[in-house]
Amino acid sequence: MEILSDIIFKTKYDHHEFPSIKESVNFERGAAAAIPEVTTLNAAHAVAFRHGLGNSLFAGDSTKVSNSSDVRAFANKVYTASNIMIVGTSVNHNELLKLTDSLFQNISHTVPSTPIPSKYFGGECRISTPGDSHFVLAFLGAPVDTPEYAALQVLRFLIDGEKSTKWGEGVNALAQKASKLNDTKISSFNAGYSDAGLFGLHISGTATSVYSAARVAVEQLKHAANKISNDEFVRALAKARFNAAASYETRASKTEIFGNQVLFSGKVSTLAEALAQFDRFKVEDIQNVAAKILKGKPTAVALGDISTLPFSDSLSL
């Protein structure tokens, strides 16, 4: 607690340290740019939301932060009582309150300006690079900790192209497709934030294999929107429940989950409550969320051999 307090109140924003810090930030950006999965997901958010959630996690060359005073001003803006949540697990609650009151009594209570709600746009982004090709196909998702987000988690595991075991071809069509195309990897994602989300698939491999897998991915989504068998539903539901339970396994992960929940919704959901929401779902609920995302404008990011990689409209979307 004392270390956290010192970070807020005692950090020295020395001018002579700024150049080395900026160099580290530039290195971080360069390292991230070398990872195709990071590049495509970053680009997908930029295309989908443009601003807000569309802003990169990595500082660009055009950043307006030019000295340590800018950093100090930003810290003063974000280190406020309404932006900070103190969460502890396996600690005495009264002792935690006492420490918080004594160490953070001078925290600013400035009320931040109301953030602009995220707006989804969708669109295309194509980046020509050598090496393997990557393709992200995404749609407007749902805010985290909402029934729709949980339903999308089930859909995510229904269409996921990753195998659950080392051997075998996988169960669904995408996993079987990935097994037949030895050079291709297919994974789904469901990114939820406070007021919006992004749901989709990431496919990598040779450009022709990626194109072929993308067509199967769209077929799987359309299948999910129209007819999901009971076996498919039960299997995806079990995976979604397991994934939710796994996120509560460690003290660190629980602390992060509880902190985000309070910041986003003002309440904490226990593991039992997190799992209970899946018990309320029926096959029709998952079909409905699949149909809903397909009605919206897709977001597509192609990286690699863009002369071969698909456009979203070439996938019958």
Q: Say what the pLDDT of residue 174 is.
A: 75
Report the CATH number that the domain containing residue 130 is assigned in CATH.
3.30.830.10
Residues 172 and 81 placed together within one structural domain of the fold = no
The predicted model gives 66-79 an average pLDDT of 92
Q: pLDDT by residue (tens digit) across 122-163?
A: 999 999 999 999 999 999 999 998 999 999 999 999 998 665
Residues 192 and 242 placed together within one structural domain of the fold = yes
Q: Tell me phi and psi for residue 186, to 5 degrees.
A: -130, 125
Q: Say what the pLDDT of residue 37 is.
A: 97
Residues 133 and 93 placed together within one structural domain of the fold = no
Q: Say what the pLDDT of residue 163 is.
A: 57
For 36, the token pair is 């195709």
Q: Which residues contact 193 (CB under 8 A, 6 or more apart)?
A: 53, 118, 143, 144
Q: Say what the pLDDT of residue 90 is.
A: 84
Q: Say what the pLDDT of residue 166 is.
A: 53
Residue 195 in any domain: the answer is yes
Residue 259 in any domain: the answer is yes
Residues 85 and 200 placed together within one structural domain of the fold = no
The predicted model gives 251-280 an average pLDDT of 88
Residue 39 in any domain: the answer is no
Q: Is the pLDDT of residue 167 over 80?
A: no
Residues 180 and 280 placed together within one structural domain of the fold = yes
Q: Is the pLDDT of residue 254 over 80?
A: yes
Which structural domain, as residue segments, surrounds residue 152? 123-315
With b for 16 or more beta-carbon neighbours within 10 A and e for fewer, the 24-57 pattern comes to: eeeeebeeeeeebeebbbbbbbbbbbeeebbeee
Confidence of residue 59 (pLDDT cuts 50, 70, 90): confident
Residues 233 and 85 placed together within one structural domain of the fold = no
Residue 117 in any domain: the answer is no
Residue 310 in any domain: the answer is yes
Q: Say what the pLDDT of residue 181 is.
A: 73
Confidence of residue 164 (pLDDT cuts 50, 70, 90): low
Q: Say what the pLDDT of residue 263 is.
A: 80
Residues 160 and 276 placed together within one structural domain of the fold = yes
Confidence of residue 251 (pLDDT cuts 50, 70, 90): confident
Least confident of 6-10, 74-78, 262-266: 262-266
pTM of the full structure: 0.90
Residues 153 and 287 placed together within one structural domain of the fold = yes
Residue 178, CB-side half-sphere exposure with 13 Å CA sphere: 27
Count Cβ atoms within 10 A of the Cβ of residue 19 and give its class: 0-12 exposed, 13-18 middle, 19 or more buried.
exposed
Other beta carbons within 10 angstroms of residue 222's beta carbon come to 15
Q: pLDDT by residue (tens digit) across 7-55?
A: 999 999 999 999 999 999 999 999 999 999 999 999 999 999 999 999 9
Q: pLDDT by residue (tens digit) across 281-315?
A: 999 999 999 999 999 999 999 999 999 999 999 99
Residues 183 and 297 placed together within one structural domain of the fold = yes
Q: Which long-range contacts (CB under 8 A, 24 or more apart) does 171-174 make?
A: 171/235, 172/220, 172/232, 173/216, 173/219, 173/220, 173/223, 174/201, 174/213, 174/216, 174/217, 174/220
Residues 93 and 185 placed together within one structural domain of the fold = no
Which of 103, 134, 163 terminates a domain? The answer is: 103
Confidence of residue 198 (pLDDT cuts 50, 70, 90): very high
Residue 40 in any domain: the answer is no
What's the structural domain count of the chain?
2
Residues 306 and 203 placed together within one structural domain of the fold = yes
CA torsion sign for 42, 43, 45, 46 is positive
* Higher pLDDT pick, 177 / 233: 233
Q: What is the mean pLDDT of the chain?
A: 91
How much of the chain exceeds pLDDT 90, in percent? 74
Q: pLDDT by residue (tens digit) across 170-183?
A: 566 677 766 777 78
Binning the chain into helix, strand and coil, the percentages to the nearest 5 are 55, 10, 35
Residues 94 and 137 placed together within one structural domain of the fold = no
